[in-house]
Amino acid sequence: MKAARIHEYNKPLVLEDIPIPDIQPDEVLVKVQACGMCRSDVLLIDKFFLNYGTLPMPIIPGHEIAGVIDRMGSQVNHGLGLKEGDSVVVAPGWGDGVCRHCLEGNTQICPNVRWPGFGLWGGFAEYVPVPARYVVKVDPRMKPEEIAPLTDAGLTPYRGLKKLREGGALGPDRVLGIFGIGGLGVYAVQYAKQLGNGCQVVAFARNEEKLAVAKKYGADHVIAIGNKSVADVSRELKQATGQGDLDAALDCAGAEATVQLALGLLSISGHYVDVGFVGDRIDVPLFPRVSREQTIQGSFWGNNIDLGEVMALAARGKIQHTITTIKFDEVNTYIDRLRKDDVVGRAVLKF
C-alpha cells in the first residue's frame, strides 16, 4: 500500500510502498478513502509533541479517517453490527477500557490512550488497522472527503461548545467569540448557531478570506484582529454587539496571541474554552481571572457519543464544508501550506 511516513523529524514525509498491515482478532482493517490534514500533523513532524513523550519511528500521520471495512478480525463483537464493506469513520482516542475516564466514555483522555496517526499506523496510508469498537458506521451516501475532517476538525469544537453550553455560558443575552477560523473554526461557527441558545456569535481572525467564510456560515459579526490591541478589538466588539466584552470564548487556535486577546475580552464570570494549541506557553495576568471569577477550561477532541452526534448532524445536512481535496503526491506541499497557515477550511487527502 501507499503510505506517507515520518522517518526523521523536520523532514518531508517519505512517500513509499509498504506491506498492508495485519490485524488483531478484535480489529478491523479500514481501507482509507479520505483523511483530513490537521495542523497537529505539522506539529508532529516539527517535533512539538516531543515535549510530552516519544513515539517510535517510522510514524504514519493522519487521524481524520473515513473509509470502508475491508476485513474483520475473528473476535470482533457481533453486537457492534459491523460487516465488511460498511462505510465508517475512525474515532480518535483508543483507551485501555478500564480506567475511570474510559468507563465514563471519555476514551480520548485515557492515561494509556493510543491515537491513530501518532504511531505506526495512520490515515496517510491506504489501509489502517483499528480496534473494532473505535469505528463508527456512517451513511454510505455521505462523501468521505467531507466526513473525514469531522472526526477532529468537526468533533473538537463541537465538544468545546457543549462544555460552554453545559456551563451555562450561552443564551440569547450572551455574546460568544470564536477565535481562529481555520479547519476547526469554520465548524465552530456553525455549531455555535445550532447549540448557542440564541447567543450572538462573533468570529475573530487575521485572514479576511477566513472571516468571509465565517460570515457565510452564520457568524453574526466578524472582526479582523491583525495588529490590534485588546482595547481596539473591544471597541469594535461594542460597536457590533452593544458590549465590549465576551460572555464566552472558544479558542480554536490556541496561539499565545489569541489566548491573550480572548482572556483580555472575557467578561465577569465569563467562560473560556481552549481546543487549540498552536502555541505551547501562555503569559496572562492572574488577578483578573480570580477577581472576575472566570472559568478557563481545556477541551480535547471528543468521545464516541460526541462523534455519533456530529455524524447525525452531517447525515441530516446540518453541516457545511470548506474542503480542498488533494492527491497522495501532494501531501508534503500541503503540509508546508498548513505550516504557513495558507489553507482555508480543510485540506483532505483522497485515495
Q: What is the pLDDT of residue 231?
A: 98
Claim to verify: residue 346 and residue 224 sit in the same structural domain: no
Mean pLDDT along residues 122-139 = 97
Claim to verify: residue 306 and residue 277 sit in the same structural domain: no
Angle between helical axes of 156-166 and 185-195 (0-180°, round to 10)? 30
Claim to verify: residue 257 and residue 136 sit in the same structural domain: no
| DSSP letter for each residue of 65-98 | EEEEEEEE-TT--GGG---TT-EEEE-S-B--SS
Picking from 298, 314, 329, the residue at the C-terminal end of a domain is 298
Picking from 259, 278, 298, the residue at the C-terminal end of a domain is 298
Strand 346-350, strand 27-37: pairing: antiparallel
User: In CATH, what number is assigned to the domain containing residue 160?
Assistant: 3.40.50.720
Over the stretch 203-229, which tens digit does the pLDDT of each residue have?
A: 999 999 999 999 999 999 999 999 999
Number of domains forming the structure of the chain? 2
**CB 294, CB 269: distance < 8 Å:** yes
Q: Is 16 helix (H, G, I), strand (E, B) or coil?
A: strand
Claim to verify: residue 58 and residue 182 sit in the same structural domain: no
Claim to verify: residue 148 and residue 6 sit in the same structural domain: yes
Does pLDDT of 279 surpass 90?
A: no
Claim to verify: residue 23 and residue 74 sit in the same structural domain: yes
Q: DSSP label at 50?
A: G
Q: What is the pLDDT of residue 245?
A: 98
Buried b (16+ CB within 10 A) or exposed e, 35-60: bbbbbbbbbbbeebeeeeeeeeebbb
Over the stretch 82-117, which tens digit does the pLDDT of each residue have?
A: 999 999 999 989 999 999 999 999 999 999 999 999
pLDDT band for 281, please (50, 70, 90 cuts): confident
Residues in the chain: 351
Claim to verify: residue 124 and residue 182 sit in the same structural domain: no
Look at the block and give the residue holding cell 469505528. 135
pLDDT band for 330, please (50, 70, 90 cuts): very high
Over the stretch 228-275, which tens digit does the pLDDT of each residue have?
A: 999 999 999 999 999 999 999 999 999 999 999 999 999 999 999 999
Longest CA–CA separation in the chain, Å? 63
Picking from 298, 316, 335, the residue at the C-terminal end of a domain is 298
Over the stretch 4-24, which tens digit does the pLDDT of each residue have?
A: 999 999 999 999 999 999 999
Claim to verify: residue 306 and residue 264 sit in the same structural domain: no
Claim to verify: residue 127 and residue 270 sit in the same structural domain: no
pLDDT band for 314, please (50, 70, 90 cuts): very high
Claim to verify: residue 7 and residue 144 sit in the same structural domain: yes
User: In CATH, what number is assigned to the domain containing residue 68?
Assistant: 3.90.180.10
Q: Quote the CA–CA distance of 266 and 139 in Å, as a whole number.
A: 40
Look at the block and give the residue holding cell 483523511. 35
Per-chain mean pLDDT for the chain: 96
Claim to verify: residue 309 and residue 284 sit in the same structural domain: no
Whole-number Cα distances in Å, 106 to 92, 129, 161: 11, 21, 16
**CB 163, CB 273: distance < 8 Å:** yes
Claim to verify: residue 87 and residue 183 sit in the same structural domain: no
Q: What is the pLDDT of residue 280?
A: 86
Mean pLDDT along residues 166-184 = 96
pLDDT over 90, % of the chain: 96
- pTM listed for this prediction: 0.96
Ramachandran angles phi, psi of 55, nearest 5°: -125, 140
Mean pLDDT along residues 41-66 = 94
Q: Is 227 helix (H, G, I), strand (E, B) or coil?
A: coil
Hey, which residues does 266 pair with through a beta bridge?
Answer: 246
Q: 43 is in which domain, residue-wise?
A: 2-153+302-350
Q: Quote the CA–CA distance of 97 and 120 in Å, as a whole number.
A: 21
